[in-house]
Amino acid sequence: MSYDNPKAALATASEPASTVATGQLVSMRQCLVVSAHAERRDVLRRAAIEGGWLPLVFADAELAWEESRRSATPLVVVDVHDDVDRPANGNRWLFERLSREPGHLMAACGREALAPQDEIWARQLGAWLVLPGVADAHDLSIVFEEAGKVLERNSVSTPAVPHARRGPARNASRRRGRS
């Protein structure tokens, strides 16, 4: 199965029909998952769904970039180990490009042992998380759940300034008028 099409990534035999039929996926946040490695793509896709996300899954970095321009994807998970042969337009290129865009929580992943320089590179670009050794979807679902919590905490707004400014001044003038 090709994961270049996000709709195809959702319509797999491993997902229960009720997930789509109940409309549960419609209300979920979207995340972007990119890996040229089929097994890691599948593990990340399943973990994202278990963690409460609607994953847009891609094997191709350029197609993922195009989708990121069309869709709101506050979480981006990129397998940065895959593109040793494609440095100009591979997953590292995508990670670097998306790290410059506002509104993304970035996670880098790879095979068992990412080189120390890979983690340093990802951290310098603002990676929220670096995941060496993507293997088990159930364990990774916790990461996706935590990403949702981080984004919720970051989106909590403070009271509007006009209300804070107007309240004390109005109360002070009322008190003076009554004296």
CA–CA gap between residue 154 and residue 163 (Å, rounded): 22
Angle at 64 between CA 142 and CA 10, to 5 degrees: 55
Does any domain span residue 67? yes
Range of the domain at 141: 6-178
pLDDT, residue 156, reads 60
pLDDT, residue 179, reads 45
pLDDT in tens, 39-56: 889 999 999 999 999 999
Please list the rounded mean pLDDT of every run of 10 residues in the chain (179 residues): 42 33 54 92 94 95 94 92 57 93 90 78 93 80 92 64 37 46
Tokens 């970051």 locate to 154
pLDDT in tens, 120-151: 999 999 999 998 877 778 788 999 999 999 99
Identify the three-state secondary structure at position 162: helix
pLDDT, residue 89, reads 56
Give me the DSSP letters along 17-68. Answer: HHHHHTTGGGGSEEEEEE-SSHHHHHHHHHHHHHTTEEEEEES-HHHHHHHH
pLDDT, residue 55, reads 97
Q: How many domains does the chain have?
A: 1
CA–CA gap between residue 47 and residue 140 (Å, rounded): 5
pLDDT, residue 157, reads 44
pLDDT, residue 67, reads 95
Does any domain span residue 138? yes
pLDDT, residue 84, reads 54
Does any domain span residue 113? yes
- The pTM of the whole model exceeds 0.75: no
Q: What is the CATH number of the domain that holds 54?
A: 3.40.50.2300
CA–CA gap between residue 78 and residue 58 (Å, rounded): 10
Does any domain span residue 1? no
